[in-house]
Amino acid sequence: MYLELNKNLTEQEQQIKTEVHRFAADVLRPASMELDAMHNPEDVIAEGSPLWDVFRKAYELGYHTMHLPEALGGAGMTPLARHIVMEEMGWGAADFAVGIGVTSFPFNFAAFGQNPELMNNHVMPFVNDREARYVGCWAITEPQHGSDMLMAGTPQFKDPATAGSVQAVLDGDEWVINGQKSAWVSNGSIATHAITFLNVNKERGQEGGSVAFIPLNLPGVTKGKPLNKLGQRALNQGEIFFDDVRLPKEYMVVPEPMYAYVMESVLAGANGFMGATFTGLARAAFEEALTYTKNRVQGGKPISEHQAVQLKLIDMFIKVETARQLSRAATLYNQSTSPPAVQYSISSKVYCTTVAFQVASDALQLHGGYGLAKEMLVEKLFRDARASLIEDGSNDILSLTAARKILDQYQV
């Protein structure tokens, strides 16, 4: 385990670090490797799959509630403890880290409104769930709209031509929802509930959006097959279709006037999560390289004793440590500040995912031909890291969003 430079960790934070690391090593990583080897993504989510064992164990330990306030039955973690959890889970298996992390997303939104219907019938059953019967997803990406839906604060966010495709129209006391969310919805094929970002006012473009809490057993909701993809194969992703779905008015948890503000809060939280998670993956790749090079003998000595390898290792080490410091700083600040400084959380996501891919690539190179073997962890880490440069917003588009924030806010 890495050297903790923060000497002020509380006893609870240190205990959480130890416990989550054990869970990541004993549960997440072996199950993720097993699921990664499955050829058919439908087998990954089938009844009896190791995926469900992992989810149940995560729920038993209360990890599904770590983002909920303690007053509502949440885990009551400090911002630093949450960062530690995300990094350790990312170290174990980034795909499971994302899947477990996103499952609470709809219920977090539903909880803040304190609506008795939502609280009694959905939020509290989720909080008390220990069998993974309630699984959430974040339904935002669409076939014709991806990272552009995250560009809050930019001129194009207000352009009518950019309006989202999933539309909601108010009909009396119900919203009628039509449209399709794309195959990149994390947990999309297994979710029971979705926090759904949709459009209610095309004239205002993306800014004319709202956010709905949608139970996915409503009439008119259907799901597509799980996506077959390069990496993060333990993370189920799939389409969701809405065909004249009628939703009670009170289930629209974020009204149009608040949409842009909420989107910035979501950007801060989601990007902070990604930064911490892929700091963990970068660390895992570095550790794999360090272990291998200390044991692989070439030229009569371990290759770690060759200076060219040492230079590569220290470069990887520096990147992992700087990723942790940036992602922690952004997470701790934004979880205790309103409104958040979105440019820092985006910078964390962009930098840490880039570092994860670079370090994983270097780790694979240091393994030589063995790094290309499917049974090697480093080969999986390389593929998983590659996906992170696109998921939750492509790094190029997110960088433009952060740049707009910097240009608008900083005076010279």
Read out DSSP for 344-374? HHHHHHHHHHHHHHHHHHHHHHHTGGGGG-T
* Entry field: residues in the chain: 412
Boundary of a domain, candidates 198, 233, 257: 257
Tell me, yes or no, whether 5 lies in a domain.
no
Residue range 83-107: mean pLDDT, rounded: 97
Claim to verify: residue 162 and residue 253 sit in the same structural domain: yes
CB 189 within 8 A of CB 238: yes
Contact 104, 136 (CB under 8 A): yes
In a domain, 191, yes or no: yes
Domain assignment of residue 178, yes or no: yes
* 211 in the same domain as 117: no
Q: What is the pLDDT of residues 149-190, one digit of tens each?
A: 988 888 889 999 989 999 999 999 999 999 999 999 999 999
CATH of residue 179: 2.40.110.10
pTM (predicted TM-score): 0.96
Task: For residue 403, count other CB atoms closer than 10 A to its CB.
Answer: 13
* Whether residue 67 sits in one domain with residue 23: yes
Residue 341's alpha-carbon distances to 63, 109, 135, 266, in angstroms, are 26, 20, 30, 12
The pLDDT of residue 71: 85
Q: How far apart are CA 57 and CA 67, in angstroms?
A: 17
Band (pLDDT 50/70/90 cuts) for residue 16 is very high
User: 68: exposed, middle or buried (C-beta count within 10 Å: 0-12, 13-18, 19+)?
Assistant: buried
Same domain, 99 and 160: no
Q: Specify whether 112 is located in the same domain as 142.
A: no
**Would you place residue 69 in the very low, low, confident or very high pLDDT band (cuts 50, 70, 90)?**
confident
Residue 1 has pLDDT above 80, yes or no: no
d(CA 325, CA 91): 16
| Structural domain ending residue among the three candidates 74, 102, 128 | 128
**pLDDT tens digits, residue range 351-408?**
999 999 999 999 999 999 999 999 999 999 999 999 999 999 999 999 999 999 999 9
Confidence grade of residue 146 (pLDDT, cut at 50, 70, 90): confident
- Give me the pLDDT at residue 191, please: 98
pLDDT at residue 73, rounded to an integer: 84
On whether both 178 and 302 belong to a single domain, the answer is: no
Range with the lowest mean pLDDT among 63-77, 134-148, 190-204, 284-298? 63-77
Note whether 243 and 176 are within 8 A (CB).
no
Segment 297-306, tens digit of pLDDT: 999 999 999 9
Distance of CA 60 to the CA centre of its chain: 20
The number of distinct structural domains making up the chain is 3
Domain co-membership, 58 together with 109: yes
Question: Are residue 266 and residue 401 in the same domain, yes or no?
Answer: yes
Residue 46, domain CATH: 1.10.540.10
- Structure letter (DSSP) for residue 192: S
Residue 138: the pLDDT is 96
Whether 412 has a pLDDT exceeding 90, the answer reads no
Look over the chain and give the mean of its residue pLDDT values, rounded to a whole number: 96
User: Do residue 353 and residue 277 come from a single domain?
Assistant: yes
Domain harbouring 280, CATH code: 1.20.140.10
Name which of 27-31, 85-89, 204-208, 309-313 the model is least confident about: 204-208
The verdict on 253 and 264 lying in the same domain is no
Q: Is 53 within a domain?
A: yes
Output the DSSP codes for 2-26.
Answer: -----TT--HHHHHHHHHHHHHIII
- Tell me the pLDDT band of 19, cut-offs 50, 70 and 90: very high
Last residue of a domain, one of 240, 257, 274: 257
Residue 1 lies in a domain: no
Residues 123 and 200 in one domain: no
pLDDT at 368: 98
Domain that holds residue 191: 136-257
Tell me the residue type at 368. G
Q: Are residues 400 and 275 part of one domain?
A: yes
Residue 4: inside a domain: no
Q: Does a structural domain hold residue 2?
A: no
Across the range 57-67, mean pLDDT stands at: 95
The yes-or-no verdict on residue 67 having pLDDT over 90 is no
pLDDT digits (tens, 9 = 90+) for 104-145: 999 999 998 789 999 999 999 999 999 999 999 999 999 998
State the pLDDT confidence band at 74, using cuts at 50, 70 and 90: confident
DSSP string covering 105-171, please? HHHHHHHHTT-HHHIIIIIHHHHH-SSS---EEEE--BTTBSGGGG-TTSGGGG-GGG--SSEEEEE
Question: Domain for residue 122, yes or no?
Answer: yes
pLDDT (0 to 100) of residue 72: 83
What pLDDT, on the 0 to 100 scale, is given for residue 142?
A: 95
